[in-house]
Amino acid sequence: MISRRNRVAALCGIVSIVAACTAPQDQTQRDQSGETITGRHGAAGIGDDYYPEAGNGGYDVENYAVTVRYDAESGHLTGDTTVTARAEHDLSRFNLDLRGFTVSSVEVNGEAAEFKRTGDAELVITPAEPVREGDVLETRVRYEGKPLPGERGQLGGNGWYRTASGGAFVLGEPESASYWFPVNEHPRDKATFTLTASVPEGWTAVSIGTSDEPVTQDGWTTTTWTETNPIPSYLTLFAVDKFTVETGQLPDGTPVRNVFAPGAEEARQDAEYTEEVIAFLESRFGDYPANTAGGIYLDTPTGFALETQGTPTYPPDTTVDLLVHELAHQWYGNSVSIQSWADICLSECFASYAAWLWSEEKDGTDLNANYRNQIELWRDDAAYWSRPLYDMGAGNEFDAVYSKGPLAVHALRLRIGDEAFDRLLREWPAEYANGNASWEQFEEFTERIAGEELDAFFEDWFRGTELPAKEHLHPDLYSR
């Protein structure tokens, strides 16, 4: 048996091997000065064991500057995106992710580049000359066409939706950005984001980040949004409809933008809780980490809500508990993002437990009693306990995190005590703010806060596939 800490080293070794195997051999070329550069191709995958082709290797994106023009009547999109990145090694070729569209040109650092399409989403780019390790890699891609409709995902359709009112939006996890702009589509590569969108006069476009005032000229209305926090690409959004947009601000001046699609007007009563929910979550998690607040309320069934940065996106029939969940993601998932998809409990388990905390605070719910009831309800259900919360296997990421997840987090609270648990809730998102973290790091961080070794507890609750042992259920509350 390999120990937890040795598993970290082993995993790093495996990732290195995978990267080495997927990257083609080095190629020797000369730059304009005649100096020899040995560059290699960026890997067609960022190194996530679950999804070997997800994202890309060889560079680290710093910013996406996306410009689109979308005709709501024809459904045609014209895009011009510049991806600013930094080369992680001498780079002779690299990939971006883009689904559909006709690509008309690609430039790298101002020079025309060769490109080809492979697979479902790979845009393979060969710059005119290799890019040196550490240098800026500025890639401009021009493209157009009708966006592809999203395929079914684990939670719902990931990708492009058309609405009954004639509008459209692009939404989904783990993929959605590649359905409308070229991207390194994995949460491990976080970047800032700017969108300049033009839509026909009479339509309204919305996105994430702070926005300028729309300008209408020659029948087109153009708006720019800027998100200065580095974020995973699935937290971006582009939506067009006959929206009603209401603005305000939090007490600290953070802008609030609530957007209501035609038919979603009843969501206003839930949207009114936004300020109260954020204030409550700040009392548990620390200062609100996003630059904007509010929400986008749709009238199109998607099967899920999504924590799009600062302004989560909600399906019809939303609830206050759903607001709590999606706004909690601004700390757990958005600011502190997962390293690999096996780590998804770091995002979903804690956002789900936030709704428990809200119920405890606002409704006086006895969470210990709720915990006991849940244990009794699922005690003899082998299928329920068979689904691990960490390293659950590709395609199973969302199987247990919403039901077993908050139960496990409450068990952790009971195990380490309220004082240590309260510290954990605040110090974890502060420690890894605007970055990425793995489940292994969370376990080690928790042990430091608690001042004790918790390997057996984590093994039982988060990796286990059976009802946890009695001592890990908490014998003071559960003696059966």
Q: Check residue 154 and give its pLDDT.
A: 57
The model's pTM: 0.90
Q: Is the pLDDT of residue 222 over 60?
A: yes
Please work out, in degrees rounded to the nearest 5, the angle formed at the alpha carbon of residue 377 by the alpha carbons of 324 and 439: 50
Confidence of residue 58 (pLDDT cuts 50, 70, 90): very high
Q: How far apart are CA 337 and CA 439, in angstroms?
A: 11
- Taking a C-beta distance cutoff of 8 angstroms, is the pair 168, 207 a contact? no
At 65-98, the pLDDT tens digits run 999 999 999 999 999 999 999 999 999 999 999 9
Q: Please report where in the chains the tokens 């596939």 appear, as a residue.
A: 465
Residue 2 has pLDDT above 50, yes or no: no
Mean pLDDT of the chain: 90
Q: Is 419's pLDDT higher than 80?
A: yes
Q: Residue 90: how many CA atoms within 13 Å on its side-chain side?
A: 15
Q: What is the mean pLDDT of residues 350-368?
A: 97
Q: Is the pLDDT of residue 228 over 90?
A: yes
- Tracing tokens 């690299």 back to the chain, one arrives at 94
pLDDT over 90 at 3, yes or no: no
How far apart are alpha carbons 283 and 198 in whole angstroms?
39
pLDDT range class, residue 155, cuts 50, 70, 90? low
Tokens (6 digits) for 424: 């954990």
For the chain, helix (H) and strand (E) counts, in that order, are: 12, 25
Average pLDDT (3-24) is: 36
Evaluate if residue 150 carries a pLDDT over 70.
yes
**Band of the pLDDT at 390, cuts 50, 70, 90?**
very high
Residue 12 has pLDDT above 50, yes or no: no
Task: Look up residue 402 and give its two tokens.
Answer: 């919403």
Which 8-state DSSP code applies to residue 121? T
pLDDT in tens, 95-139: 999 999 999 999 999 999 999 999 989 999 999 999 999 999 999
User: At 472, is the pLDDT very low, low, confident or very high (cuts 50, 70, 90)?
Assistant: very high
User: What does the pLDDT read at residue 35?
Assistant: 47
pLDDT at residue 156, rounded to an integer:
59
∠ CA 290-234-250, nearest 5°, is 20
β-partners of residue 216 are: 221
Looking at residue 478, its pLDDT comes to 58
pLDDT of 41 reads 80
Of 409, 407, 209, the residue nearest 311 (C-alpha): 209
Q: Pick from 385, 386, 392, 350: which is nearest to 473 by CA? A: 385
Which structural domains are found in the chain, ordered by start? 63-156+166-232 (2.60.40.1730), 243-335 (1.10.390.10), 337-477 (1.10.390.10)
Candidate from 46-50, 282-286, 366-370, 405-409 with smallest mean pLDDT: 46-50
At residue 46, does pLDDT exceed 90? no
Residue found under tokens 């790093």 = 12
DSSP class per residue in 63-119: EEEEEEEEETTTTEEEEEEEEEEEESS-EEEEEEE--SSEEEEEEETTEE-EEEEET
Q: Residue 194 belongs to what H/E stretch? A: strand 191-200
Q: What is the pLDDT at residue 124?
A: 97
Nearest to 176 by CA among 67, 70, 228, 100: 100
Pairing state between β 168-171 and 204-206: unpaired
Identity at 470, one-letter amino acid code: K
The mean pLDDT value for 257-282 works out to 96
| Residue 42, pLDDT above cutoff 90 | no
What does the pLDDT look like over 177-192, one tens digit per residue? 999 999 999 999 999 9
pLDDT of residue 48: 86
Asked whether the bond before 174 is cis by omega within 30 degrees of 0, the reply is yes
* E strand residue ranges, 351-463: 435-437
CA geometry: angle 320, 294, 231, nearest 5 deg: 110
Query: First vs last Cα of the chain: how many Å apart?
Result: 31
In percent, the amount of the chain with pLDDT more than 90 equals: 81
Whose CA is closest to 318, among 242, 255, 260?
260
Give the pair of three-digit tokens for residue 177: 């950005």
Rounded to 5 degrees, what are φ and ψ at 167? -85, -170
Q: How far apart are CA 254 and CA 228, in angstroms?
A: 14
Cα separation, 28 vs 38, in Å, equals 4
